[in-house]
């Protein structure tokens, strides 16, 4: 399976006794050592002589609206302190932290971040999905949300439905039809409570469309992403999940939804524009979609400018200083041929400073609830 591209370049003709080289665009394609290179090992050294812009710090202060306690491996006060030092080095003013927790664990994390660095973090709570079949589920979940709000929560998320339901995953899920999806009426009290408390919801609906395509020679993203495959799994189609997204947005116009990762539709900016035009309560973060922006730099720069009041910067990629700096190079430089995580090459967007200000911080300042706990 991983021989992929290289094997395909050489059809079976290469193994017969007197192979006649296949001509492709005037080049004789012959068998050779490249044919057995595994796709996961393919790491070409570029000869391109092009500038590499070093940007140690973002041009203007940044609010990162998408980070996770778990992914960033934050356990102690010392971990939080170390993170803040990195944030200072790279120009992150505030990180919005998804605690992934409710109840006592949420309270512990709220104290961990807010007691030590109250001005550097915003903590968000998660959704209690226990006993969803029992009567009064939505009201119970909304009550816990409000309790977390009083304890410091200023948002709900990241709430994820890749098709298994908000309360499930590949290893633990209900039968199709019994799953809790975002547009389920049982969740109405939760979304209404968010509107009442003026806190946004960050949701991950569906996933990158390549997840629904076979793992093989035509798979778009490289081997590092194959663990995300949903191909032939017991999940609804990509299109069905995006349809549920629309039902949710239409059903709760007073609730602010930030759909993360460009709503998993960054491959189709025209389609995404249509959804943004239709639902004014929809906002997007572009965390973990560096590769969608960077592979189409001209279209992406236009899109970011056109929807400059609806888009928010986030990372969702850990907390290494060089990770943040990779983002600054993509957003701010006009460098060509940046290395990308999917195996694709990216191109700097060279965004003007007023647009950077809107995307990096102004939208988050306007949209997020900054009242003190």
Cα–Cα distance, 236 to 232 (Å, whole number): 10
Cα–Cα distance, 193 to 321 (Å, whole number): 37
Which residues, numbered 104-133, are part of the site for Zn ion (CB under 5 A)?
A: none
Q: What is the total count of residues that contact Zn ion (CB under 5 A)?
A: 2
Find, among 319, 260, 307, 331, the residue nearest to 60 by Cα.
Answer: 331
Cβ proximity to Zn ion: between 107 and 158 the closer is: 158
How many other CB atoms are there within 10 angstroms of residue 17's CB atom?
A: 4
Cβ proximity to Zn ion: between 110 and 260 the closer is: 260
Cα–Cα distance, 220 to 209 (Å, whole number): 9
Q: Which stretch binds Zn ion (CB under 5 A): 18-26, 158-166, 234-242, 295-303?
A: 158-166
C-beta of 204: minimal distance to Zn ion in Å? 6
What are the respective helix, strand and coil percentages of the chain, to the nearest 5? Answer: 40, 15, 45
C-beta of 40: minimal distance to Zn ion in Å? 24
Q: Please give the residue whose beta carbon sits closest to Zn ion in the complex.
A: 316
**H or E, element range at 269:** helix 269-278
Find, among 7, 4, 10, the residue nearest to 24 by Cα.
Answer: 10
Cα–Cα distance, 269 to 342 (Å, whole number): 19
Q: Where are the alpha helices (DSSP H) in the chain?
A: 4-9, 77-90, 103-114, 137-151, 188-197, 238-251, 269-278, 290-294, 297-306, 321-332, 353-357, 363-367
Is 290 a binder of Zn ion (CB under 5 A)?
A: no
Cβ proximity to Zn ion: between 210 and 315 the closer is: 315
Cβ proximity to Zn ion: between 316 and 332 the closer is: 316
Strand order in the sheet with 282-285: 156-161, 201-205, 257-259, 282-285, 311-312
C-beta of 162: minimal distance to Zn ion in Å? 12
Cβ proximity to Zn ion: between 105 and 334 the closer is: 105
C-beta of 3: minimal distance to Zn ion in Å? 33
Q: 313 by DSSP, 3-state: which?
A: coil
C-beta of 368: minimal distance to Zn ion in Å? 16
Cβ proximity to Zn ion: between 4 and 74 the closer is: 74
Cα–Cα distance, 53 to 298 (Å, whole number): 19
Cβ proximity to Zn ion: between 144 and 316 the closer is: 316
Q: What is the rounded end-to-end Cα distance, in angstroms, of the chain?
A: 53
* Cβ-Cβ contacts under 8 Å for 221 (sequence gap 6 or more): 208, 210, 342, 343
Burial class (CB within 10 angstroms; exposed 0-12, middle 13-18, buried 19+) of 154? buried
C-beta of 334: minimal distance to Zn ion in Å? 29
Q: According to CB under 5 A, which one of 316, 319, 348, 349 is a site residue for Zn ion?
A: 316
Cα–Cα distance, 37 to 35 (Å, whole number): 6
C-beta of 158: minimal distance to Zn ion in Å? 5
C-beta of 299: minimal distance to Zn ion in Å? 24
Ramachandran angles phi, psi of 124, nearest 5°: -115, 150
Task: Say how far residue 220 (Cα) sits from the centre of its chain.
Answer: 17
Cβ proximity to Zn ion: between 4 and 359 the closer is: 359
C-beta of 338: minimal distance to Zn ion in Å? 22
Cβ proximity to Zn ion: between 31 and 71 the closer is: 71
Q: According to CB under 5 A, which one of 93, 128, 144, 158 is a site residue for Zn ion?
A: 158
Cβ proximity to Zn ion: between 93 and 316 the closer is: 316
C-beta of 248: minimal distance to Zn ion in Å? 18
Give contact residues for Zn ion (rule: CB under 5 A): 158, 316
């Amino acid at each position: 399976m991983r021989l992929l591209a290289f094997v395909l370049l050489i059809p079976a003709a290469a193994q017969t006794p007197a192979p006649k080289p296949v001509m492709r665009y005037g080049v004789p394609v012959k068998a050779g050592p490249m044919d057995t290179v595994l796709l996961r090992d393919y790491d070409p050294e570029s000869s391109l002589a092009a500038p590499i812009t070093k940007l140690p710090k973002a041009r203007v202060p940044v609010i990162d609206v998408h980070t996770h306690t778990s992914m960033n491996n934050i356990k102690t006060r010392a971990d939080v302190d170390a993170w803040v030092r990195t944030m200072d080095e790279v120009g992150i003013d505030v990180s919005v932290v998804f605690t992934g927790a409710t109840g006592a664990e949420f309270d512990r994390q709220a104290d961990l971040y807010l007691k030590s660095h109250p001005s550097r973090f915003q903590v968000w709570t998660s959704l209690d999905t226990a006993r969803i079949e029992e009567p009064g589920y939505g009201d119970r979940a909304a009550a816990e949300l409000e309790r977390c709000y009083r304890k410091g929560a200023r948002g709900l998320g990241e709430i994820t439905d890749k098709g298994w339901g908000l309360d499930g995953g590949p290893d633990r899920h209900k039968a199709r039809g019994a799953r809790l999806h975002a547009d389920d009426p049982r969740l109405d009290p939760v979304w209404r409570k968010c509107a009442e408390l003026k806190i946004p919801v960050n949701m991950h609906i569906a996933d990158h469309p390549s997840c629904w395509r076979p793992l093989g020679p035509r798979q778009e993203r490289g081997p590092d992403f194959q663990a995300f495959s949903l191909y032939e799994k017991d999940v609804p189609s990509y299109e069905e999940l995006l349809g549920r997204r629309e039902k949710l947005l239409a059903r709760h116009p007073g609730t602010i939804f930030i759909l993360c990762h460009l709503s998993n539709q960054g491959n189709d900016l025209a389609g995404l524009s249509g959804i943004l035009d239709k639902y004014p309560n929809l906002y997007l973060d572009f965390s973990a979609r560096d590769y969608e922006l960077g592979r189409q730099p001209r279209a992406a720069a236009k899109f970011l400018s056109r929807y400059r009041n609806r888009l928010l910067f986030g990372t969702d990629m850990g907390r290494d200083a060089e990770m943040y700096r990779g983002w600054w190079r993509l957003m701010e430089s006009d460098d060509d041929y940046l290395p990308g995580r999917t195996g694709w090459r990216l191109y700097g967007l060279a965004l003007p400073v007023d647009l950077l200000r809107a995307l990096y911080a102004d939208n988050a300042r306007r949209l997020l609830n900054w009242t003190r706990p």
